[in-house]
Amino acid sequence: MSSWSFFLLLFLLQLPHLFSKQSLPLLLHPLIIIPGQGGNQLEARLNNKQYKPLKQECGGAMSEDGNWFRLWKDCSILENPLTLPCFADQMQLHYDPLLDDYSNTPGVETRVPFFGSTHGFLYKDPDLLNQSSYMAILVNRLKQIGYKEGENLFGAPYDFRYGLAGAGHPSKVGSEFLQSLKELIENASKLNNNNPVILLTHSLGGLFALQLLHRNSPSWSRTFIKHFIALSAPWGGTVLEMLIFASGDSMGYSNINPLILRKEMWSLETNLWLLPNPRTFKDKPIVVSKSNVKNFSAEEMSEFLNYIGCSHCVHPYESRIMPMIERLEPPAGVPMTVMTGHGIKTAETLIYGDGDFDVQPEIVYGDGDGLVNLVSLLAPENEWNGLQELELLKVIKLPNVSHEGILKDDAALTEVLRELHQVNSFVVRSSSAVV
């Protein structure tokens, strides 16, 4: 055998190895991350001619000469008893029944910085990096496996106060976000040789992503979306949201009276969206009075809102939110992975002594991720019959992983990265990928 023939034979013998799946470089599809409620920064500035501050400190103290300042999240504002009422006033939304939409407090202009980048949701308060990490660890791990900011890694922060509404109802801010997200997806695909995009969401971000897919054609979704990975999504709302409406929220600060922020919490459109869904929670009592004054289930939400004094919340809840959440529809033709923690005690029933909601209730706990109840986290598994057999739905349950721990715990991050690796490795879609 000549030396030329020997080397040709050696080359041919090596072909299966050289072109095996294991030896080929992994194609990283572009990845877009959508954070949860309160996960990204929100900036504001005040128009002194239009804004009427609650007190003198709410004027120039937080925004001199109309300059932009970080409204969310700035712990120094929340920890200061002088500026806390200002924060509540400037964060709240106002529903106009004539326009059938929400808007800011008059004279308060807001914007979301860093759209297109992950920079705005690495830390909740960028002044306190060691104490407010949100997605910094996750993003760092993504970069270690080859993702690069602005090339194949992008972020879609949004004004998390504003939600969406059912068909026929305007939702200017939320709809503008979905349009910007759609354009980001298309541009990210174009930058990456027209490869479809992976959507990676956390918490409320999953609900926005699902609405995006519902509001665009199945052909658009199949062209531009490779896979949808939803972490800790509150598909059916959460009992804790009912606690916030009833008795306020201190946001984890021992110095904050929860009642100070209650009306501001009532005003946020996304808080209405996150109330326990009657489809998911049905008629089980959630708010219970020991003296039998009145018990409330998710099916009695309008009555509950009236009872606590949030009567102005009833119309937008019934007309805008309920039509949007009556059914949980899967995204047509888009494979999904639902990943959630469980095994963490999560508020399930709120017990009040005599129906007085100005006091914090006794809480009966059940299963969940510490923030969202398990029945809500697993709603797709329970309601989308047959999708798992078609390989259009995969559910991954992570024991003893909390709502935000899924973004930080080593074991959880390993599962997230493993799922991303499998999605990036999967080339051929099932012919039955249309539902």
Q: What is the pLDDT along the chain (435 residues), one digit of tens a residue?
A: 555 554 444 444 444 444 444 444 578 999 999 999 999 999 999 988 889 887 766 755 455 567 999 999 999 999 888 889 999 999 999 999 999 999 999 999 999 999 999 999 999 999 998 889 999 999 999 999 999 999 999 999 999 999 999 999 999 999 999 999 999 999 999 999 999 999 999 999 999 999 999 999 999 999 999 999 999 999 999 999 999 999 999 888 888 899 999 999 999 999 999 999 999 999 999 999 887 678 999 999 999 999 999 999 999 999 999 999 999 999 988 999 999 999 999 999 999 987 789 999 999 999 999 999 999 999 999 999 888 878 899 999 999 999 999 999 999 999 999 999 999 996 543 333 332
Query: Which active-site residues does the annotation give?
Result: 203, 369, 403
Angle at 406 between CA 42 and CA 128, to 5 degrees: 40
- CA–CA distance, 51 with 70 (Å, rounded to integer): 17
Dist CA 126 CA 180 (whole Å): 25
State phi, psi for 60 to the nearest 5 degrees: -75, -15
Give the bridge partners for 133, in sequence order: 123
Under CATH, which architecture does the 31-425 domain have? 3-Layer(aba) Sandwich (3.40)
Q: Which helix (H) or strand (E) holds 383?
A: helix 379-383
User: In the chain, where are the structural domains located?
Assistant: 31-425
Please report how many Cα atoms fall inside a 13 Å half-sphere around the Cα of residue 426, on the Cβ side. 15
Q: Tokens 């606690």 — which residue?
A: 243
pTM above 0.75, yes or no: yes
Residue 5 has which token pair? 């023939």
